[in-house]
Amino acid sequence: MIKKIVSKNFDIKDSHKLKVARENDRYSSLKKLFSMSPEAVLDEVDKSGLRGKGGGGASAGAKWKLIPNPSDKPTYLIVNADESEPGTFKDRQILEYDPHLLIEGIICSSYAIKSNHAYIYIRGEYVFWAKRLQTAIDEAYEAGILGDNVLGYDYKLEVTLHRGAGAYICGEKSALVESLEGKRGHPRLKPKQKEPEWFFDCPSVVNNVETISSVPFIIKEGFEAYRAYGTEKNPGTMLFGMSGHIKNPGIYELEFGTNMLEFINKIGGGMRDGKKLKALVPGGSSCHVLKADELEGITLDYESLKAHGSSLGTGGMILMDETVFMPKVVKNLFEFYHHESCGQCTPCREGVSWSDKLMGKILDGNGTKKDLDTLLSLSFLLNGKSICVFAPSVAFIIDSYINKFKDEFYSLVK
């Protein structure tokens, strides 16, 4: 049984309230934090091997070190709480059950990058969670945990919660920053070299809720304690989700490197109603689908999933039993991506729309083999031809579902 890092207080009654949170170790890392220099804190996070838990898995320490030091401009921490990936519902657990953990993580992370103002960009539909988080922020201000002198230390930090307008594309970090600046949520062109995000032309770090919430443990217990869990390349833990046709759906904190089938069968309880597992997507809808017979030997970490032709993504696993008809799954996904494309890039705007319409034609019984061939050719047009990874995600759906379940798709065409 591992020591829980992020979900430790989830089962404690009223853990979202400041009094209860402080009784259960929240803000206990700050005494040690302020005894260290910002550079030492940043180095501690870097040595911990903490990786971003919003999908990409990039090194948090390496990203933070892109901030110029010293900087002649203000620096900002931006927390991505725009959790919109289908199948993903882990960050909202933190916001609901332990929002003060996130605030503590924001203080630690902001101090490390010498930021005095942090923004939390939250999904527009997360009304309940936005209210709960704002209440926690207000409590922290009233208690002197946020403001001009954080807990009496010579450090100022303001935290602003910003609600998005409900666009999935704003989960992409540069589109999020554009939206936060008051502009249309369009992803930015990627620079030739690694550099920070730029918020009103000021250097900024963007990380998701769970990543920032992992930092207090690293500061309080030390980087070795974090690396004691997980694998060499994937240290620590992650909140893994299970949804779909599983007996015990939910969010579970596990070490990286946990065997996937053990997770499904022991913790998830296996498939419900005595049905057999047919397929799953391991980290949200934009990952390549995996058939049940492909899961042997897969572990829950970035390298293992990549080696098996998919990706860990956000850790939100969607499980489908033998009753699922894959063409209907693909149509459902296409409708989502068709609706959510920002329209900035022609291959994405037109290609995703075309894919959705072709799949609808096929499901209505009016499709031909040529339509399926056209759909497969659209994968090439979508992959790598746009500014962000939205269009490639649709290409992944086309390639993996149609190629792995050919019989189901070709049974619909003339």
CB count in 10 Å sphere of residue 280: 25
Q: Which of 75, 98, 54, 16 is nearest to 302 (CA)?
A: 54
Question: Are 81 and 95 a contacting pair, CB within 8 Å?
Answer: yes
Q: How far is CA 220 from CA 5, 59, 146, 354, in A?
A: 11, 20, 19, 52
Kindly report, as residue ranges, where domains of CATH 3.40.50.11540 are found in the chain. 18-227
- What pLDDT is attached to residue 244? 97
Superfamily of 18-227 according to CATH: NADH-ubiquinone oxidoreductase 51kDa subunit (3.40.50.11540)
**What are the residue ranges of CATH 1.20.1440.230 in the chain?**
326-410
Q: What angle do CA 337, 364, 339 make, to 5 degrees?
A: 15
Q: How far from 77 is each of 38, 91, 216, 259, CA to CA, in Å? A: 14, 17, 15, 34
- Per residue in 103-162, pLDDT tens? 999 999 999 999 999 999 999 999 999 999 999 999 999 999 999 999 999 999 999 999
- Fold classification of 237-321 (topology level): Ubiquitin-like (UB roll) (3.10.20)
The pTM assigned to this predicted structure is 0.96
In three-state secondary structure terms, 187 is: coil
- Report the distance separating Cα 367 and Cα 360, nearest Å: 9
- Read off the pLDDT of residues 295-332 as tens digits, 9 standing for 90 and up: 999 999 999 999 999 999 999 999 999 999 999 999 99
Residue 414 has pLDDT above 90, yes or no: no
CB 237 within 8 A of CB 253: yes
Mean pLDDT confidence for 360-376: 96
Q: CATH 3.10.20.600 region(s) of the chain?
A: 237-321
Instruction: Tell me the CATH architecture of domain 326-410.
Output: Up-down Bundle (1.20)
Among positive and negative, which fits the CA dihedral 125, 10, 137, 200? negative
- pLDDT tens-place string over residues 172-182: 999 999 999 99
Whole-angstrom distance, CA of residue 390 vs CA of residue 392: 6
CA distance 308 to 295: 8
Task: Give the phi and the psi of residue 19 in degrees, each rounded to 5.
Answer: -60, -50
Q: Give the pLDDT score at 1.
A: 52
Radius of gyration (C-alpha) of the chain in whole angstroms: 22
Which of the 8 DSSP states describes residue 266? I
